[in-house]
């Protein structure tokens, strides 16, 4: 038997041994890899437990559903405030003589009616009543939705007087009362921007400050020319 023939006979044996060694190595690597994956799932990896360990709101500094007492109070008090603004604005139809007053009244209604629905939705989602609890000793002034001190809410007597006016007298009274009403809303919104937590409520508060501040300036201009 030549050396070449003996080499050919040994080759299948060597190949089989090599194949066995490779298979064993692959199995060992697979076992190690499986262990690493399991470890990663408990230590910030991509496994399901990584999300669970992170807790609610992971990856967001202010979850959209987070809220505090200031957010609740803002919505509870701004709802009746907006509702009274709608009541005042609807009086302009058939009473106002100034076209700019009529136009502004329509804009106030179009802006604030959807905001009321939005705030009621928040309170429902938060499991809170839409009406603020009454505070003992607080003078609510008898106005629609009650008064809350410095918020510009009209009393029942104010509303009765406004309903009785027409023409330029109505325009002047409406402008002055709405200025006071808007200034109260601006103060409430600024409190929410400082003290609130819910990002949507704070965003609405910012929009109220911006929009109603502009309307206050417009109403002052109307008063100056009437």
Q: Write out the two tokens for 165.
A: 């006016």
Question: Would you say 83 and 115 are in contact if contact means Cβ atoms under 8 Å apart?
Answer: no
Distance CA 48, CA 171 (A): 64
Closest to 115 (Cα-Cα) out of 212, 219, 3: 212
In Å, what is the CA distance from 48 to each residue of 32, 55, 60? 20, 12, 18
Contact 163, 90 (CB under 8 A): no
pTM: 0.67
Summarised one tens digit per residue, pLDDT across range 63-100 is 557 999 999 999 999 999 999 999 999 999 999 999 99
Torsion of CA 65, 69, 70, 74, to 10 degrees: 80
Q: What are phi and psi of 96, to 5 degrees?
A: -70, 145
Let me know: does 196 contact 70? Beta carbons within 8 Å. Answer: yes
In tens, the pLDDT along 13-70 reads 344 444 444 444 444 334 444 444 433 333 333 333 332 333 333 333 445 579 999 9
């Amino acid at each position: 038997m030549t050396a070449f023939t003996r080499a050919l006979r040994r080759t299948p044996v060597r190949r089989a041994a090599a194949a066995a060694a490779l298979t064993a190595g692959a199995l060992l690597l697979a076992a190690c890899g499986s262990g690493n994956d399991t470890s990663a799932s408990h230590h910030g990896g991509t496994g399901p437990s990584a999300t669970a360990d992170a807790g609610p709101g992971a990856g967001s500094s202010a979850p959209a559903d987070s809220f505090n007492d200031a957010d609740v109070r803002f919505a509870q008090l701004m709802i009746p405030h907006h509702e009274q603004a709608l009541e005042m604005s609807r009086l302009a139809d058939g009473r106002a003589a100034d076209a700019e007053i009529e136009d502004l009244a329509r804009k106030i209604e179009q802006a604030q009616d959807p905001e009321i629905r939005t705030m009621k939705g928040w309170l429902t989602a938060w499991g809170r009543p839409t009406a603020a609890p009454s505070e003992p000793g607080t003078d609510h002034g008898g106005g629609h939705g009650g008064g809350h001190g410095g918020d510009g809410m009209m009393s029942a007597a104010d509303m009765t007087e406004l309903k009785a006016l027409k023409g330029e007298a109505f325009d002047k009274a409406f402008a002055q009362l709405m200025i006071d009403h808007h200034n109260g809303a601006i103060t409430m919104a600024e409190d929410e921007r400082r003290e609130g937590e819910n990002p949507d409520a704070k965003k609405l508060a910012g929009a109220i400050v911006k929009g109603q501040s502009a309307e206050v300036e417009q109403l002052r201009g109307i008063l100056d020319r009437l």
